Chain A
Amino acid sequence: MNLGVSEMDNHQHAYREEAYELLTELETSLLELEEIPDDEDQIDRVFRAMHTIKGSSAMFGFDEIAAFTHDIETVFDRVRSGDILVTKELVSYSLEARDQIIAMLGASSGGDPVDESKSDVIIEKFKSLLPQNLDQHTDSDEQTSDPDEQTFDSDEQMFDDTDNNSSIKNVASYRIRFKPHEKIFIDGTDPFQLIHELHELGDMTVVAQTDTIPTLDQIIPENCYMHWDIILTTNQGLEAIRDIFIFIEDACELSIDIIDDIEEKKLGEILIERKDITTYTLLQTLNQQKRLGEMLLDSKAVNQCQINSALAEQNHIRQMKEKRNYESQASSIRVDATKLDILVDLVGELVTVQASLSQKATTIEDPELLAIAEQVERLTADLRDNTMGIRMLPISTTFSKFKRLIRDLSNELGKDVVMKTEGGTTELDKKVIERLNDPMVHIIRNSIDHGIESPDIRQKSGKNKTGTISLVAIHSGANVLIKISDDGAGIDPEAIRNVALKKGIISPDIELSENETYNLLFAPGFSTAKTISDVSGRGVGMDVVKSSIDALRGSIDIDSEIGVGTTITLKLPLTLAIIDGLLVDIGGEFYVIPLPAVEECIEISNNDRNKSKGRNITWVRDEIVPYIPLRELFDVEKPPPEIEQVVIVKVDNTHIGLVVDNIIGEYQTVIKSLGRIYQSAKEFSGATILADGSVALILDVHRLSQLAVDLEQEVLELN
């Protein structure tokens, strides 16, 4: 293989992406494996991940990673063959190894250099897991445990290496009937290894036939009496199967038949095809009333082993059919995330242009043009929804990361904590998910550090010594609710109040509801932790969590009960790219208020203003609502209309009013970020282009809400 520099760069870039993805899956599999140590599927997944990383690393010049991964892969091959058991130690070492590979990948792309001695320590740990007599592999062991070691110089082999199951093209099912000669053991051939190699080719069902094994008084133990019926579904072709038996063709009875392209067959059809019975026998037997298998057994046309084998074939084909259906639905291609972002931007532009077209068509009142504009509007809406859908990711991609965090942190703090998740398939915009990581990490760390008690304390208070952290995602209109709950000690509102008083965050005479008290946790510098730990408790964090969630145009809510636990609910918009907005006019300029925050609109006249004696408050069904006259805030010079409109928005369970001149109506808002020059304009979260090409600023309701509360507080203090 001779690759040019840029081609090699492209391959290395693709390799890195693939490796990071595999390492993420690897972490998930390892954590699953820790819970169910004999889960063979997970063991296979871990092995395959290591095997692919090793192969592709070697191919693209990442020799250190290849060498490092080789030893770990070897251990997992031994796990696969049942020589080594999965233990907590093995999982811990594997997670360490996974982190080290990530560090190596980072170093290879200009990151911090890797501590090589750490690699050696990890490898030594793995070696210590090998039983003494398994540490030294024979050549033949090496070959069989790693059958496709020689294939890494093939481009095609690179990213689907060993993942025979992923391709549904050219897949066929084969029935292999393999009966070795009696003396095969003495010749040095182990049929187990042949079956192992077949397994590498694809999905396989093996049925061993043991009916010919004699009793103890007659058995010659070095003879082979067993034979096998194997159903293999693979895309590797007949030759690949034959190759496995190439050296023992003369020492066995072998038949390999292709079974019709994954068609589910009835038991009778299979037995006839195998020549185990004739059509006549079948028809004769079918005239009786019992189940076919029982009837055939009664009539001694076949024995139990033959029935079991045929049923296994039937079951295999059924499973393959289901799997193929699933894979056809789940088939996907890899697309660079930047390309998706560009696509979303372009769709945004198109939505804007379409709005202009619709407006023009309405103005001109040309029926033909109106019809075209309507059609374009419909298509644009479909395109927009589909494009936004492409960027949606299941939240489970984020949830799975936290399992490791919880595992490591609970070990570090000597606590026993398990994670439960629900609603992992709930989808959120990729950007929201990316920016959700840090706030969630902080909340979870707090839950483990301050929420979940140590096992002995839990037991003393009658709780299960294992604490639980639940991550639940729920769809709620244009939002997703993420609930992070723990069954720990709960938050003491009195303790929060005392700290807030001590730190001067609140004055002693202020009365706060439970919710308002919890919200003090988001004040900068607040912490109720008695000791500062590395995990949390420095008073830096919850305010950052709050501002991160605000920046996502979301909200955060705390609910807690002492001794029972705490639930923190994050409410997040489904997407950050296009939102439903309420278009308003202030002094001839247009602004957008995010629609999900809008509760209602009321009118306000000069008379109403006079009633409130200088305070910016209004009454909404007996509730006092502070408002912000936006024309004052934005220094609008034009005179206000006689009657202004107050848009009531709800932010963090608080109502505030935004006073505008006129309400234009709902508007599909394509969000554009503001340039650096507007960084100091905190009241705006972005901008959008209107149908006529003019720009409307999008109001940041969180900031404005805080401002309204602050202004009202100032007025109260002055009075």
Chain B
Amino acid sequence: MNFQLNASDKTGQLVLNEPLTLDNIFLAKELFMEAFEKADLVNIQFKSIEKIDLSGIQLFCSAFRTFSETNKTLTIDNANHAFILQKKARKIGLNFNIDHP
């Protein structure tokens, strides 16, 4: 997992390539925080992410709330892997739309 900032236009890319589970949720939160603090528009890229648990989904919800409350933008790219997040979210009763989370 890593965050890359394009300082010129304050956009960034958050790459998620590890399970988003309780085991590394703190690391993920740090990256989300860094992204939020440094960029106005962040695009999340899922790369071969295989597992997301509830703590991961919760972190997504928190991130989207944080970004939207400060008029910043958080988007998700690569629908194939993002599909796992969407599906898992739906199972627990969250209407999680990838295009408009």
Q: Do A and B come from one complex?
A: yes
A224-232, A285-293, A384-392, A698-706 - interface stretch: A224-232
- CB contacts (< 8 Å) of B29 on chain A: these are 216, 219, 221
**Residue interface mask B69-101, A partner, CB < 8 A = 1:** 100000000001001100110111110000000
Closest Cβ neighbor of A309 among chain B residues = B93
- Contact between chains at A221 and B26 (CB < 8 Å): yes
Q: Which of B50, B87, B93 contacts A134 (CB 8 A)?
A: B50
The SS class assigned to the B binding surface is helix
- Contact between chains at B36 and A221 (CB < 8 Å): no
Q: Which of B55, B66, B69 contacts A222 (CB 8 A)?
A: B55
Closest chain A CB from B9 CB (angstroms): 22
Given A217-B33, A221-B26, A222-B22: A195 in contact with B91 (beta carbons within 8 A): yes
- Contact between chains at B62 and A215 (CB < 8 Å): yes
Closest chain B CB from A244 CB (angstroms): 15
- CB contacts (< 8 Å) of A214 on chain B: these are 62
- Contact between chains at A83 and B93 (CB < 8 Å): no
A131 at the binding interface (Cβ < 8 Å): yes
Closest chain B CB from A498 CB (angstroms): 54
- Contact between chains at B83 and A85 (CB < 8 Å): yes
A202-210, A355-363, A480-488 - interface stretch: A202-210
Closest chain B CB from A180 CB (angstroms): 9
- Contact between chains at A216 and B91 (CB < 8 Å): no
- CB contacts (< 8 Å) of B28 on chain A: these are 221
- Contact between chains at B25 and A221 (CB < 8 Å): yes
- Contact between chains at A190 and B53 (CB < 8 Å): yes
The SS class assigned to the A binding surface is loop
How many interface residues does B have (CB within 8 Å)? 32
A213 at the binding interface (Cβ < 8 Å): yes
A192 at the binding interface (Cβ < 8 Å): yes
A38 at the binding interface (Cβ < 8 Å): yes
- CB contacts (< 8 Å) of A207 on chain B: these are 93
- Contact between chains at B92 and A82 (CB < 8 Å): no
A81 at the binding interface (Cβ < 8 Å): yes
Q: Which of A195, A199, A210, A230 contacts B61 (CB 8 A)?
A: A210
Enumerate B47-76 residues with CB–CB distance to A below 8 Å: 50-51, 53-55, 58-59, 61-63, 65-66, 69
Given A185-B54, A206-B92, A208-B94: A213 in contact with B61 (beta carbons within 8 A): yes
A191 at the binding interface (Cβ < 8 Å): yes
- Contact between chains at B22 and A216 (CB < 8 Å): no
**Residue interface mask A26-41, B partner, CB < 8 A = 1:** 0000000000001010
A331 at the binding interface (Cβ < 8 Å): no
Q: Which of B59, B63, B88 contacts A192 (CB 8 A)?
A: B88
- Contact between chains at A216 and B33 (CB < 8 Å): yes
Closest Cβ neighbor of B93 among chain A residues = A206
Q: Which of A131, A185, A199, A230 contacts B55 (CB 8 A)?
A: A185
B46 at the binding interface (Cβ < 8 Å): no
Closest Cβ neighbor of A196 among chain B residues = B91
Given A185-B22, A216-B66: A210 in contact with B55 (beta carbons within 8 A): no
- Contact between chains at A208 and B93 (CB < 8 Å): yes
- Between B25, B36, B53, B92, the greatest number of chain A beta carbons within 10 A of the residue's beta carbon is seen for B92
**Residue interface mask A55-84, B partner, CB < 8 A = 1:** 000000000000000000000000001110
- Contact between chains at B62 and A216 (CB < 8 Å): yes
Q: Report the number of A-B residue pairs with Cβ-Cβ less than 8 Å.
A: 93
- Contact between chains at A221 and B55 (CB < 8 Å): yes
Given A85-B83, A215-B65, A222-B25: A195 in contact with B93 (beta carbons within 8 A): yes
- CB contacts (< 8 Å) of B54 on chain A: these are 185, 190-192, 224, 226
Enumerate B11-63 residues with CB–CB distance to A below 8 Å: 19, 22, 25-26, 28-29, 32-33, 36, 50-51, 53-55, 58-59, 61-63
| Measured CA separation A222–B66 after assembly (Å) | 18
- CB contacts (< 8 Å) of A133 on chain B: these are 19, 50-51
Closest chain A CB from B48 CB (angstroms): 9
- CB contacts (< 8 Å) of A228 on chain B: these are 92-93
Closest Cβ neighbor of A199 among chain B residues = B91
- Contact between chains at A213 and B65 (CB < 8 Å): yes
Closest Cβ neighbor of B27 among chain A residues = A221
- CB contacts (< 8 Å) of A199 on chain B: these are 91
Closest Cβ neighbor of B36 among chain A residues = A216
Closest Cβ neighbor of A205 among chain B residues = B93
Closest Cβ neighbor of B69 among chain A residues = A215
- CB contacts (< 8 Å) of B50 on chain A: these are 83, 131, 133-134
Closest chain A CB from B73 CB (angstroms): 15
- Between B53, B58, B88, the greatest number of chain A beta carbons within 10 A of the residue's beta carbon is seen for B58
- Contact between chains at A224 and B92 (CB < 8 Å): no
**Residue interface mask A168-209, B partner, CB < 8 A = 1:** 000000000000000001000011100110010000011110
Sampled A-B contacts (27; CB under 8 Å): A38-B87, A81-B91, A82-B83, A82-B84, A82-B88, A83-B50, A83-B51, A85-B80, A133-B19, A134-B50, A134-B51, A185-B55, A192-B91, A195-B92, A205-B93, A210-B61, A215-B65, A216-B29, A216-B32, A219-B62, A221-B28, A221-B29, A221-B55, A224-B58, A226-B61, A228-B92, A228-B93
Contacts A82-B91, A192-B88, A208-B92 aside, 10 further interface pairs with beta carbons under 8 A come to: A40-B90, A82-B87, A83-B84, A195-B93, A206-B93, A219-B29, A221-B26, A221-B29, A221-B58, A228-B93
B residues lining the A interface (CB < 8 Å): 19, 22, 25-26, 28-29, 32-33, 36, 50-51, 53-55, 58-59, 61-63, 65-66, 69, 80, 83-84, 87-88, 90-94
A residues lining the B interface (CB < 8 Å): 38, 40, 81-83, 85, 131, 133-134, 185, 190-192, 195-196, 199, 205-208, 210, 213-217, 219, 221-222, 224-226, 228, 230
Q: What 3 A-B pairs have minimum CB-CB distances, sorted nearest first?
A: A206-B93, A82-B87, A208-B93
